[in-house]
Amino acid sequence: MSATIRTETGSTHAAFLGVGAYRPSRLVPNSEVVDAIDSSDEWIQQRSGIKTRRFAGEDETVVSMAVAASQKALDAAGIDAQQVDAVIVATISHLIQTPSAATAIAHALGTAQPAAFDISAACAGFCHGVALANDMVRGGSARHVLVIGVEKLSDITDPTDRGTAFIFADGAGAVVVGPSDSPGIGPVVWGSDGEHYDHIRTPDWRDILAAGGGMPNLSMKGNEVFRWASYGMAKVAQQALDRAGITADQLDVFVPHQANNRITDTMARALRLPDTVRIARDIIDAGNTSAASIPLALDRMIADGEAKSGDLALLIAFGAGLAYAAQVVTVP
């Protein structure tokens, strides 16, 4: 008779234990980007809602910003770095392909050699990381998981590209996911639409080298992405509510990926969110920070008193791939 593999189980439930964020100090108003793209402050605000964004300095990196946000999340959770069993980093702008940013971040935080890896799901990366962390804590492979969304998109954005230059920005946000006595993270609804794989992308490095070098700048088919997100993602958000057993009128907070205020408005109407639901609008002052946008927006809402401990929050993120993920969580 062959031996039987022994398995493990973890906590019955998992939840956010703490949230932290890091915002670069350099504030960049629309007036600084309009000339290079032959645009105007009014056009940018009407098209996206963005008034200002933040760009990291030369001394600020994906790793340094992530470390700063993570330390705040650990402090908020009351967790020592030595208690972190896994570090998951969602990013598309760590310009070293290998090793992962996660291993450097874990070391800088003083952790005890946890599992550490990066995931590439673009703007949807943070919600993917939350889903993984939830399963890890409940499955027994980790007790405390640090999930980080971090981007330095100013490194890979062409300042003369009218379709992207005014949109993307920099920053980092993090959460600690750990055991909970009650459900704090609902089932994830996630997927991808690879038929439109090239709607948001960076070029092949071989093409860059053949053309004589340069940075792998992002490009985006803005109108196509806008239509896909505006009308397709509301269905995903509703599925996340349904799977969590939560109705729109029971929701307290809506934190969509900060891609475009018009997309947010369209989703809110489609979901028939009541006026009592507070909606994240971090994009106005922070721009689109891709994988960092949801934890940055949630941290801002907590700091401003718009999201309170115990509130039910619907998270949904979507972006290149085209990848998406959504879940309902409890605000720590």
Which residues does the annotation mark as catalytic?
123, 257, 288
In this structure, are residues 323 and 205 in contact, taking their beta carbons and an 8 Å threshold? no
- CA distance linking residue 60 with residue 89, whole number of Å: 17
Q: Which two tokens stand for residue 8?
A: 């493990």
Q: Which two tokens stand for residue 53?
A: 């964004």
- Nearest by Cα to 221 from 241, 244, 255, 195: 195
For the chain, the distance separating the N- and C-terminal CA atoms, rounded to the nearest angstrom, is 48
Helix residue spans in 182-282 (DSSP H): 205-210, 222-244, 261-271
In this structure, are residues 83 and 17 in contact, taking their beta carbons and an 8 Å threshold? no
- The size of the chain, in residues, is 332
In this structure, are residues 200 and 120 in contact, taking their beta carbons and an 8 Å threshold? no
Q: Where are the beta strands (DSSP E) in the chain?
A: 13-22, 26-29, 52-55, 86-90, 115-119, 145-152, 170-180, 189-192, 200-201, 219-220, 253-256, 278-279, 312-319, 323-330
Please count the other Cβ atoms lying within 10 Å of the Cβ belonging to residue 29: 14
- Nearest by Cα to 298 from 262, 261, 329: 329
* Amino acid, single-letter form, for residue 11: S
